[in-house]
Amino acid sequence: MRSSILANNYIRCNPDPTGNSVSDKDSAVIDVYFAKTKDISTEYSRLKIFIDHKDKLKAEKLHFREDRNTYLFCHTLLRLILAKKLNADPSGIQIINEGNNKPRLEGDLLFFNISHTRDAFAFAISERVKVGIDLEKVDRNVDFKSIIVKFFSTIERKFILDSPEDSRNRFFLLWTRKESLLKAMGTGIISNLSQVHVIKKENTFSRETIEYMNDDSTYSNHFIYSKKVFKYYLSVSAPRKAKILLHQLNVEKVQYYCEE
């Protein structure tokens, strides 16, 4: 699967309506890679020679084998694809964590962000803009009714609960929007998330809502793109209008990225 998420399929959020703004014509391209771990599990022996030692240590701390496998597939393929894009040796890809544990490349040669759930993962890569991504499985056993009381506004709660047969889908749509936005802005989870609105086509909220802002330039319009892929909701956020290219990773593509 390789398809673009339509350019008009976005909402816009701005934490400072009187501050920085960008033109709708100022666009970027963001490549989003998605995979269900079981679909590429046969390629572990091919991938394992590229596993970074630090990633292996982090994966070993995860309790469930499925989580460990997803983590290793996600982070190893990310390194391989970054290396392909930069025409570099995968072992030379240096990923560091800045404030709020947000990963980035040394020198910001490319911008990227990662998300994984137990049996699937996704990451976004862009040459031009910082990006945030969130992936959630819709049939996860989550008590979303208790979550929305704390993290969603009144109008967002109404949107979720007004359609009981579709409330779980609506919850994960809004949740991935919020998560991807905060990841793009580099804030980490904030205590007053209910004040960050992601329900309308155009959303604004006070910049004081954001407690931990590392880069003042991110006080600007952010565009959030969302798409349901199989049983997962995927949202991507960036401070520019973007063309989102969605790539589903399969065995053949894994083999390609493992080629020297």
175 φ/ψ angles, rounded to the nearest 5 degrees: -65, -45
- Output the CA–CA distances (angstroms, integers) from residue 6 to 129, 145, 156, 191, in the order listed: 18, 31, 24, 32
26 contacts 35 by C-beta, under 8 angstroms: no
Contacts of the segment 84-88: beta carbons below 8 A, 24+ positions apart: 84/257, 85/110, 85/125, 86/110
Beta bridge partners of 236: 133, 225
- Output the CA–CA distances (angstroms, integers) from residue 138 to 2, 67, 179, in the order listed: 22, 17, 15
Q: What is the pLDDT of residue 12?
A: 94
Count, residues in the chain:
260
Query: Mean pLDDT over all residues of the chain?
Result: 89
Enter the tokens of residue 125. 């890569």
Amino acid at 243: K
Q: What is the pLDDT of residue 210?
A: 72
Comparing 58 with 217, the larger pLDDT belongs to 58
Beta-carbon count within 10 A of 46 CB: 15
Segment 37-77, tens digit of pLDDT? 999 999 999 999 999 999 999 999 999 999 999 999 999 99
Whole-model pTM: value is: 0.93
Beta-carbon count within 10 A of 208 CB: 10
The two beta strands, 232-238 and 132-137, are antiparallel
pLDDT class of 215 with cuts at 50, 70, 90 = low
Average pLDDT over residues 85-104: 86
Segment 174-199, tens digit of pLDDT? 999 999 999 998 887 787 899 999 99
Average pLDDT over residues 156-177: 96
Dihedral of alpha carbons 73, 77, 80, 82, sign? negative
User: Closest by alpha carbon to 182, among 217, 210, 149, 205?
Assistant: 210
Which CATH architecture best describes the domain 2-258? Alpha-Beta Complex (3.90)
Residue percentage of the chain with pLDDT more than 90: 72
Comparing 106 with 227, the larger pLDDT belongs to 227
Q: What is the pLDDT of residue 205?
A: 83
- Kindly state the DSSP code that residue 6 receives in the 8-state scheme: P
Enter the tokens of residue 256. 């390609």
Q: What is the pLDDT of residue 102?
A: 81
77-81, 103-107, 173-177, 248-252: least confidently modelled range = 103-107
19-28, 102-111, 127-136, 166-175: least confidently modelled range = 19-28
Per DSSP, the three-state class of 36 is: strand
